[in-house]
């Protein structure tokens, strides 16, 4: 199964390329070090310009996760499938925050080497090899870097949409076990519906072509692995023992630095963000 998931890891390079057009710290340096543009060019058969409207959405997604992490005020954070995200590098700058990056063994090893090249070692930034779908759970339930009695925030950005329903169910079970022990919240923009994907297809065909290219390269269709509609999603989440709060990505519109860099007006991107949400899940 890990070999199957390793095929998903290169998609992190596609998103990494898109993030370089923002003011997200370390985004440009990471993109250059891993030569993300080369992967982007492989994915985009019709030209790299196809990623123009993809970049602000990825920036909004990243900043929305940060916004909710700040809102819930958790000082212990576990990021699943952290890939090439710079969040741990940035947030561990606060010595009061314990940040754990996790991903499949190959990816997390590469990420650790990358972090070592870009910054000095921090005692509050940790790395863990975790397959989020594994049973029994590989989550760091009893790790000595986590403080008992203090809530934890689990974050994932760009993971669940690749997973089948049974795989999603196992991730939910693993997260539930973690939150039962520590308390806290799970923050993710990864809950998508086929209904919403169909809307995006009509509004922004380029984004749909990107997702199709990802499906061809990973063997995993983000459309097929989406929930049927909002009711299906709500029912599934309730059955896993969670309550859901949703927030619109359009809340981030005035924070998107990539708009000016790419010559995109807020009015152009607003409809793309308006129907896209980020979610906070807590135990029911």
Question: Per-residue pLDDT tens for 237-276?
Answer: 999 999 999 999 999 999 999 999 999 999 989 988 888 8
Q: Residue 55 corresponds to which tokens in the numbers above?
A: 């970049």
CA distance 16 to 174: 27
Q: pLDDT of 192-203, one tens digit each?
A: 999 888 777 777
pLDDT of residue 178: 98
Residues contacting 83, CB < 8 A, separation 6+:
9, 12, 15, 16, 103, 107, 111, 158
Q: CA-CA-CA-CA torsion for 30, 82, 252, 178, nearest 10 degrees?
A: -160
* Domain positions in the chain: 2-283
Pairing of β 152-156 and β 125-129: unpaired
pLDDT of residue 9: 57
What phi and psi values does residue 100 have, to the nearest 5 degrees?
A: -120, 115
**pLDDT category of residue 180 using cuts at 50, 70 and 90:** very high
pLDDT of residue 5: 42
pLDDT of residue 197: 80
Nearest 5°: the CA angle 138, 240, 12 is: 50
CA distance 250 to 255: 10
Pairing of β 152-156 and β 76-80: parallel
Question: 32: how many CB neighbours lie within 10 A of its CB?
Answer: 12
**pLDDT category of residue 8 using cuts at 50, 70 and 90:** very low
pLDDT of residue 186: 98
Sign of the four-CA dihedral 199, 18, 214, 231: negative
Residues contacting 202, CB < 8 A, separation 6+:
none
- Residue pointed to by tokens 């998508």: 192
Stretch 80-107: mean pLDDT: 96
Mean pLDDT value across the chain:
90
pTM value > 0.85 = yes
CA distance 106 to 110: 6
Q: Residue 207 corresponds to which tokens in the numbers above?
A: 């984004």
CA distance 39 to 210: 12
Q: Residue 148 corresponds to which tokens in the numbers above?
A: 């008992």
pLDDT of residue 133: 96
Stretch 63-78: mean pLDDT: 97
pLDDT of residue 272: 84
Superfamily the domain 2-283 falls into: Vaccinia Virus protein VP39 (3.40.50.150)
pLDDT of residue 247: 95
Q: Residue 252 corresponds to which tokens in the numbers above?
A: 């981030």
Percent of the chain with pLDDT over 90: 70
- The residues that bridge with 154 in the sheet, in sequence order, are 78, 186
Would you say residue 7 has pLDDT above 60?
A: no
The angle that helices 205-218 and 194-203 make with each other, rounded to 10 degrees, is 130
SS3 percent helix, strand, coil of the chain, rounded to 5, is: 50, 15, 35
Contact present, 50 and 209 (Cβ < 8 Å)? yes
CA-wise closest residue to 157 among 191, 188, 136, 114: 188
pLDDT of residue 10: 63
Would you say residue 144 has pLDDT above 60?
A: yes
Q: pLDDT of 186-236, one tens digit each?
A: 999 999 999 888 777 777 777 777 777 777 777 788 888 999 999 999 999
């Amino acid at each position: 199964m890990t070999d199957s998931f390793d095929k998903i890891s290169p998609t992190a390079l596609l998103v990494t390329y898109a993030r370089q057009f923002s003011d997200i710290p370390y985004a440009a340096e990471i993109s250059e070090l891993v030569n993300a543009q080369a992967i982007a060019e492989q994915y985009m058969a019709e030209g790299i310009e196809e990623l123009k409207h993809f970049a602000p959405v990825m920036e909004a997604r990243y900043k929305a996760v940060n916004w909710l992490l700040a809102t819930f005020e958790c000082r212990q954070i576990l990021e699943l499938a952290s890939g090439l995200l710079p969040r741990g590098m940035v947030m561990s700058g606060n010595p009061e925050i314990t940040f754990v990056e996790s991903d499949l063994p190959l990816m997390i090893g590469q990420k650790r080497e990358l972090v070592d090249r870009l910054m000095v070692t921090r005692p509050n930034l940790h790395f863990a090899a975790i397959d989020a779908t594994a049973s029994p759970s590989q989550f760091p339930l009893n790790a000595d870097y986590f403080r008992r009695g203090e809530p934890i925030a689990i974050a994932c950005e760009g993971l669940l949409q690749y997973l089948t329903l049974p795989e999603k169910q196992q991730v939910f079970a693993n997260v539930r076990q973690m939150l039962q022990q520590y308390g806290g919240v799970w923050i993710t923009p990864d809950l998508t519906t086929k209904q919403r994907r169909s809307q995006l297809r009509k509004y922004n065909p380029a984004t749909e072509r990107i997702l199709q290219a990802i499906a061809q390269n990973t063997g995993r269709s983000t459309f097929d692995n989406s929930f049927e509609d909002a009711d299906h999603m709500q029912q599934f989440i309730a059955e896993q023992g969670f309550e859901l709060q949703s927030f619109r990505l359009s809340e981030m519109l005035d924070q998107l630095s990539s708009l000016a860099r790419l010559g995109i007006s807020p009015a152009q991107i607003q409809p793309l963000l308006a129907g896209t949400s980020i979610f906070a899940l807590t135990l029911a």
